[in-house]
Amino acid sequence: MNTYLAYRAHQEEGRVVSRLETLEAAPLQAGQVRVAVHWSGINYKDALAATGAGRIMKRFPLTVGIDLAGVVAESSDPRFSPGAEVLVVGCGIGEESDGGFAQQAVVQGDWLVPLPAGLDLREAMAIGTAGFTAAMGIQRLEDNGLTPAAGSVLVNGASGGVGSLAVQMLAGLGYRVTAMSGKPAAADWLQELGAAEVVAAELPDKVRPLEKALWAGAIDNLGGAHLAWLCASTQPLGSIASIGLASSHELHTTVMPFILRGVNLLGINSTYCPPALRAKVWARLADDLKPRQLARTVQREVALQELPGVFDDYLQRGVTGRTLVRCI
């Protein structure tokens, strides 16, 4: 197509303004691939970028959306032929280059992952960066020795996109999952997704350097005081995958959990994941890590034209599960 719709962020008079626009398709440069985007998904980072609530965009104007899945329409990379089903998560799209909230996107061939057998394009975006990051966290936890026999695994921020997918993946692997959520109404849903128990997101008034050792491992989506408490309450040689900062970007703790219990704090960055690890994790997402109730994780679908009305819910922490964007 010579023209296409895209949801673009602009910087105007010192603030970020986003809107749907019609763009002209540009010729491909060496190594680039044009993808007809079928699906994308909304992440918290997209809400920050589209509204300017966070400094996400490295330049303006730029198409929003850090995820996309679709079909190759044109390629200057011999690895990808027209008609191939592909996906991109992270890799700087929606931050440094045009992203997935569009009817088409031009990306570098090195960023593309062939759609694994066992997933369709919609399922890939139901997983998206949220699920890919959760899966990376689980991979890193297991690389550091976590097994179902080691004990319970805690997932905080469990009702969000990353958390709800992590609950399903861990439960599917046979782990006993404790879901921590600040949304009491989500408790039954989280248990249906596989959580053995759901606990409130409440912490002691003061976290001691070492609390009772409870967790063999954890997926942390919150940061701040919740992560400090996790460090203090993880079992000897246990590991925490630090994924998000929905509560706070700060961390005030002591070295006690690390030098007296050998706790591992693992930072998870899905944006610049090495290609070999990216391929390995996506292969698992189509196999043993595929969420068992992926369809139930998707709480709504929106069209490109509906995007302006959805981001405030993310900023107000009012979103449960995943929202998909229909781009065709």
In this structure, is residue 145 part of a structural domain? Answer: yes
Same domain membership, residue 9 and residue 103 = yes
Same domain membership, residue 245 and residue 175 = yes
CATH number for the domain that contains residue 40: 3.90.180.10
Q: Which two tokens stand for residue 87?
A: 């996906």
Q: Which of 219, 249, 267 is the last residue of a domain?
A: 267
DSSP symbol at 182: S
Same domain membership, residue 134 and residue 108 = no
Same domain membership, residue 229 and residue 312 = no
In this structure, is residue 254 part of a structural domain? Answer: yes
Which percentage of the chain shows pLDDT scores above 90?
A: 89
CA gap 291, 126 in Å, rounded: 10
CA atoms within 13 A on the CB side of 76: 9
Per the CB < 8 A criterion, the answer to whether 19 and 2 are in contact is no
Same domain membership, residue 83 and residue 24 = yes
Same domain membership, residue 146 and residue 48 = no
Same domain membership, residue 253 and residue 138 = yes
In this structure, is residue 180 part of a structural domain? Answer: yes
In this structure, is residue 143 part of a structural domain? Answer: yes
Q: Classify the phi-psi angles of 83: left when phi > 0, otherwise alpha if psi is within -120 to 50, otherwise beta.
A: left
Residues of the chain below pLDDT 70: 1
pLDDT digits (tens, 9 = 90+) for 244-285: 998 999 999 999 999 999 999 999 998 888 888 999 999 999
Strands 113-114 and 104-108, sheet pairing: unpaired
pLDDT digits (tens, 9 = 90+) for 114-144: 999 999 999 999 999 999 999 999 999 999 9
The pLDDT assigned to 13 comes to: 92
Q: Is 196 helix (H, G, I), strand (E, B) or coil?
A: coil
Strands (E), 30-122: 32-41, 62-63, 67-75, 85-89, 104-108, 113-114
In this structure, is residue 289 part of a structural domain? Answer: no
Tell me the angle at which helices 275-285 and 121-143 cross, rounded to the nearest 10 degrees.
Answer: 110
Same domain membership, residue 153 and residue 107 = no
The pLDDT assigned to 1 comes to: 59
Same domain membership, residue 80 and residue 18 = yes
User: How many domains would you assign to the chain?
Assistant: 2
Same domain membership, residue 143 and residue 96 = no
Structural domain span for residue 248: 130-267
Closest C-alpha to 44, from 280, 269, 293, 322: 322
CATH number for the domain that contains residue 226: 3.40.50.720
Strand partners, 23: 4
In this structure, is residue 80 part of a structural domain? Answer: yes
Same domain membership, residue 9 and residue 110 = yes
In this structure, is residue 274 part of a structural domain? Answer: no
Same domain membership, residue 143 and residue 39 = no
In this structure, is residue 279 part of a structural domain? Answer: no
